[in-house]
Amino acid sequence: MELNKYIEHTLLKQDASKAEIKKLLDEAIENKFFGICVNPCNAAFASQYLKDTGIKTVTVIGFPLGQATCESKVLETIDAVKNGADEIDMVINCGKLKDKEYDFIADEISKVKAACQGKNLKVILETDLLSQDEIRKACELCIKGGADFVKTSTGFVKNGVGAKVEDVKLMYETVKEAGLGVKASGGIRDKETALKMIEAGASRLGTSSGVKIIAQ
């Protein structure tokens, strides 16, 4: 297994310096990771730095709360694509999901997907905040809205666990027939955990510990 091909090497902390971003990109090149994931303000630099390497630039939208308006998420997505983002990871509006405003959720996903201009859209469910039924429903809405992937977590929930094997399994079982992928993200810090996520159905891993994982 080429574990490096599953990894989106990630740096989303709010005080990340340009030097730290450059280090992330150099590590991605050295280890031939699938991609990197950075905040939108770093997408243009990352995209240009990784030009001709084949490594994807992924950025986040409505991050980390998912509580921006749909219009803001759409504009943020358009800007990210213009700045060279290859894939978009958008945070779902968990409040709307819990209020059972399902048409809103599906419509928002659909509008952001259109703004992706053919790029992959991953929808972050924030599984730490959801019941199993809510996770299943969120996945169904991602299918309805035309997303390409469902993703577990932002990694920013206080006292949150992040990706859990049982959640990844549930997500995979819900979306596999529709052809969506699953990205496990949050708390993946060692090779054993990474392999468990892949076994559960994840085809992508979002982690800041990519170098450590493939060295184990």
Give yes or no: 82 in active site: no
Which residue among 56, 73, 86, 89 is the active-site one? 89
For the chain, how are helix, strand and coil distributed in percent, rounded to 5? 50, 15, 35
Q: Exposed/middle/buried for 140, CB within 10 Å: 0-12, 13-18, 19+?
A: middle
Rounded Cα distance, 122 and 154, in Å = 12
Rounded Cα distance, 215 and 117, in Å = 36
**Unique residue bearing structure tokens 């170098």:** 211
187: helix, strand or coil: coil
Which residue among 113, 137, 151, 164 is the active-site one? 151
As a three-state string, the secondary structure of 56-71 is EEEEEECCCCCCCCHH
**Unique residue bearing structure tokens 């991609």:** 35
Give yes or no: 151 in active site: yes
**Cβ atoms of 125 and 137 closer than 8 Å:** no
Residues annotated as catalytic (active site), given as ranges? 89, 151, 183
